[in-house]
Structure 1
Amino acid sequence: MRQGVFITIEGPEGAGKTSIIQKLKQGLEERGQVVMATREPGGIAIAEQIREVILNKENISMDGRTEALLYAAARRQHLVEKVSPALKEGHIVLCDRFIDSSLAYQGYARGLGMEAVYEINRFAIGELMPHLTLLFDVRPEVGLERIKAHKEREVNRLDLEALSFHEKVREGYLQLADKFPERIAVVNAEASIQSVYQESLKLILAKVEEQSLGQQC
């Protein structure tokens, strides 16, 4: 049985990840692929409970290291229960956020250091890294305006951070894209939904084909 393909979707608040992921799942399934879409933190019961603690608007006193550790704990459980089994079954896994979120948010924006946060997460995920990461790039002011306009979306603790924090998050993401260009593809998330979807689908299909050919060799 062929191994699955692990695709992560990253981006600042209001980048439109959730909407595009659902379109990608449908588009890939229409092309005969078996797809599992999930999210972080969350995706399974234990991780969803941790998510409630992390994103609770009342937890404003949460320490940055506590936040990073909680994300890593949720990530580990999600990986063991849901992501790894799906990959072993040969599925395409579309995951809304993964390790790069921790590196950008806690490592860079919180000032904990990307290397320190990476070490925490390396313990959590072992050697598993995405085959492809799509970084939906959007200016913070644009993303936050989208959140305000989207009345049905939950407003969480991170949404309430100052604009300067969200600017640092974006800087952190772009630094990661520069550092890992072989894995991270930057997508202009300020374009139309259809444009973002088409570019993302093209990148994913190319990676799926590449992985398939690699396993045949």
Structure 2
Amino acid sequence: MTASELNLLMTLATIHAIALASPGPDVALVVQSASRYGRRTGLLIALGLSVGILLHSILSLTGVSLLIRQHPLWFVIIKLAGGSYLLWLGVGALGYVLRHQGEGRSLARVEVEAGLEGPLNAFVRGLMTNLLNPKALVFFVSLFSTLVPADLSAQGKMGALVLLWALSLTWFSLLAQLLTSRTLQARLQRAALTLDGICGAVFVLVGGGILWSTLSGL
């Protein structure tokens, strides 16, 4: 791998790291799931999110995402599906809060110990939250079309894919680990329903905003 390709990978990694740390649906999902269901679910969510980012990277690197972005009907379908999914997650979280008001810490402790969300369901929820987010599609199309040259070597492309995936998995896994440390978990259990409400509001605002902007532009 050449020095210019290494510099390119460092630039991609820096931009992606900043994007990962920015608040959004991915971070909200890890916070909500880890605080409600515990470490294992948080790590599976992290894996699903990172695989979604890997798929976005592959589609952008191969030009598929750019074709979707440039085809109005396809992009509208993606935005409607993604906005609807995020809105569904938000409504579900807010409904959960309304159903369980007053149960708070005891409810959270029971759910963490029981691990009520299955491994496959947790992984798929993380995967779909990232994969169906049209803002993620636009971000990766912009990232790759702006920074990655068409003649980048196969080794450079593979390095970019592995790097972005590894950064994503590491960041979301560390977040899940931190949120489920013994000291912090006890505090999160006391605020479980509040966190659900905040995360649900994030999903509703982002998903509803995507749907509103898409439908109003038709």
Q: Same fold (TM over 0.5)?
A: no
Rg larger in structure: 2
Q: Which structure shows the higher strand fraction?
A: 1
Using CA pairs below 8 Å that are at least 6 residues apart, which structure has the higher relative contact order? 2
Q: Which structure shows the higher helix fraction?
A: 2
TM-score (norm 2): 0.29
